[in-house]
Amino acid sequence: MRLKPLPSRPLLGGVLFFALVFAFAGINPWGGGHEGVWNAPREGGMALFALAALAGVLLERRGRGLSVGGGALLALLASAGFLLAGAASTLLSPQPIWSWTGYPSVGDGLRFWALGVAFAWAVFLALETRVLSPRGLFGALLLALGLHALAVFPQVVDWKLDYTQTQGQTYVRCFDRERTDCYENPNATASGIYRGQMPIGLTSHRGHAAGVLALLGLVAAGLYLRSPRPGLLLLFGLGALALWFTQTRGGWLALWGTLALLALGLTWKRPGRLRPALALFLVGALSYGLYLALGQMGVQEPRRFPELGASFAEANAYSSGRLELWRKALAALPLRPWLGWGFDGYARASPHAVDWNGEDRRFVPAALSLPVRLVQGEDRLFYLEDPTGLRLLAPAPYAKAHNLFLDLLLSVGVLGGAAYLLWLGAALRQASWAKLPFALAVAGYLLYGLTWYDSVHVTPLALLALGALVTREEVWRGA
């Protein structure tokens, strides 16, 4: 397909730019709950971009000569297979409604994934047909990085700043209309964010903020490696400093682990590009030094790295309980291996992997007599029932395994998980030096996923990168 000049429709370009920024950094301060404040704006931005990109292609009549190469076709088929597996797992799920909507504070149900796949291919279509320029795409991503970084710093000083209409207020729950019987939680904001989850930036949890900062930081790093400019290095440093303040090791691993692997590759393949990579590490060291210095001044207690103990209990504590979550996830995998339990599968599967009458009997309510049996209830609830027929609410399980791959397998099974990983692999095979920022973002997403999970905050960045990676090299000439 012969490339045409960039469209002379500034309104369309502005809509696409706004939609991208809103998809990655938008919030609704007046919304209700996590879904209204954080999830809906992200989904709205993705939907607006997909619709505007399609409208632009039709208005500009750019799609007539569009051709899909072998790599893009394999990625397209894999993404379609993933969605089909997700739809089947939702229909067969014990709780299909929750598979459709996903976990409320994460928004990772079938609805999100259908929109996300459409968003990824809208990025591909917009770039291939030149409705969206690479410069506009990178501009939106860098602006989102700056917004997220700047949003973190005030929250380090005052953890009650969540940028909602109730910021500065603590959580109060009343049990009567007259509001005479009320309970206040001084360690949670009125919007439902706990003190330990801060700073959240423009997301709903510091773990999500770390993922967003890491992936956007990798985009900035990739652009700097391609074309070293002081402004990019400064923006990267700003994001790196904000990332340290999230105190989330998964985000730290995603950014610095990916760059360390890249540096090793550059040493072998492109030694001439190693110097800009070392500049990134120098900025990272300086930002970490500033993080420690501010911690010593009492701004924030720096996160320490105690020696990892030899026992399971010590290692589990060091991993914030993740080892126990992973053990339960592995125990639940054989129960529904092929199509899983539907999206948000860990919350559905893990109660079935708990040994309620054995090593986990300490979790059984004291009023119940052993042996107990697990009973699925309404909503997301599970109950335990003893031989006398007494039924009490089971202890609430974690919603996520805190491992992208285990969460994926429990949600959509081996079939859906294989299709998704095939999509990622097909996209990464199309990586090149021109598309380095997106390859780094996908690699960072995978490292982040070792201890975290998909969400409406982080995953759209990876989906954008997947769409951009399968575009042709001609798209990036002069970008």
Q: What is the pLDDT of residue 318?
A: 56
H or E element in which residue 183 lies? strand 182-189
- Tell me what pLDDT residue 305 has: 53
pLDDT for res 174 = 81
pLDDT exceeds cutoff 70 at 66:
no
- Look at 423 and 396; give whichever has higher pLDDT: 423
For residue 443, is pLDDT > 60? yes
Give residue 316's identity as a one-letter amino acid code: N
Q: Is 473 exposed, middle or buried (0-12, 13-18, 19+ CB in 10 A)?
A: exposed
Q: What are 183's two structure tokens?
A: 């309970």
Q: How confident is the model at residue 8 (pLDDT cuts 50, 70, 90)?
A: very low
Q: What is the DSSP letter of 334?
A: G
The single residue listed with the structure tokens 């920022």 is: 437
Taking 60 as the threshold, does the pLDDT of residue 65 lie above it? no
What are the φ and ψ backbone dihedral angles of 389, each rounded to 5 degrees? 95, 0
When pLDDT is averaged across residues 97-119 and rounded to a whole number, the result is: 91
**330 pLDDT exceeds 60?**
yes
Q: What angle do CA 401, 407, 408 make, to 5 degrees?
A: 170
**Nearest-angstrom CA–CA distance, 200 and 178:** 33
C-alpha span between 39 and 31 (Å, rounded):
10
Q: How far is it, in rounded angstroms, from Cα 124 to Cα 122? A: 5
Token reading at 229: 């400019």
Per-residue pLDDT, 112: 96
Give, in degrees to the nearest 5, the angle at Cα 30 between 29 and 31: 95
The CA distance from 379 to 377, in Å, is 7
Identify the three-state secondary structure at position 375: strand
Residues 6 or more apart whose Cβ sits within 8 Å of residue 97 = none
In DSSP terms, 393 is beta-bridged to 383
**Separation between Cα atoms, residue 52 and residue 132, nearest integer Å:** 10
- Where b means 16+ CB within 10 Å and e means fewer, 284-319 reads beebbeebeebbeeeebebeeeeeeeeeeeeebebb
Say what the pLDDT of residue 381 is: 79
Predicted pLDDT at 9: 65
Instruction: Tell whether the model's pLDDT for residue 157 goes beyond 50.
Output: yes
Using 50, 70 and 90 to split pLDDT, how confident is the model at 247? very high
pLDDT of residue 2: 46
Residue 344 backbone dihedrals phi, psi, to 5 degrees: 65, 40
Residue 384 has pLDDT above 50, yes or no: yes
Q: Which of 28-42, 133-147, 305-319, 461-475 has the lowest mean pLDDT?
A: 305-319
Asked if 345 and 410 count as a contact pair (C-beta separation under 8 A), the reply is: yes
**424: Cβ–Cβ under 8 A, 6 or more apart, which residues?**
442, 446, 466
Res. 64 pLDDT band, cuts 50 70 90? low
Which two three-digit tokens encode residue 24?
């990655």
Lowest mean pLDDT among 88-97, 186-195, 222-231, 431-440: 186-195
Asked if residue 470 has pLDDT above 60, the reply is yes
**Which CA distances in Å does 390 have to 286, 361, 385, 443?**
60, 16, 6, 50
| Three-class SS of 85-142 | HHHHHHHCCCCHHHHHHCCCCCCCCHHHHHHHHHHHHHHHHHHHCCCCCHHHHHHHHH
pLDDT bracket for residue 47 (50, 70, 90): very high
| 3-state helix vs strand vs coil in the chain, percent to 5 | 60, 5, 35
Average pLDDT over residues 40-56: 95
Question: Cα dist. 2→6, 72, 149, 429 in Å?
Answer: 12, 18, 39, 24
Mean pLDDT confidence for 464-474? 95
Written as six digits, the tokens of 162 are 């969540």
Give the largest Cα separation in the chain, rounded.
76
Name residues whose C-beta falls within 8 Å of residue 313's C-beta, 6 or more positions apart in sequence.
Answer: none
252: Cα separation from own chain's centroid: 14
Confidence of residue 413 (pLDDT cuts 50, 70, 90): very high
Count of CA atoms in the C-beta half-sphere (13 A) of 81: 18
| pLDDT number for residue 184 | 84
Highest mean pLDDT among 70-74, 132-136, 141-145, 345-349: 141-145
pLDDT at 270: 78
In the chain the first and final C-alpha atoms are separated, in Å, by: 19
Mean pLDDT is lowest, of 161-165, 377-381, 470-474, for: 377-381
Distance CA 169, CA 365 (A): 34
13-22, 189-198, 413-422: lowest mean pLDDT where?
Answer: 189-198
Q: Is the Cβ–Cβ distance between 149 and 238 less than 8 Å?
A: yes
In this prediction, residue 182 carries a pLDDT of: 83
Q: Is the pLDDT of residue 322 over 80?
A: yes
3-class SS of residue 171: strand
Q: How confident is the model at residue 272 (pLDDT cuts 50, 70, 90)?
A: confident
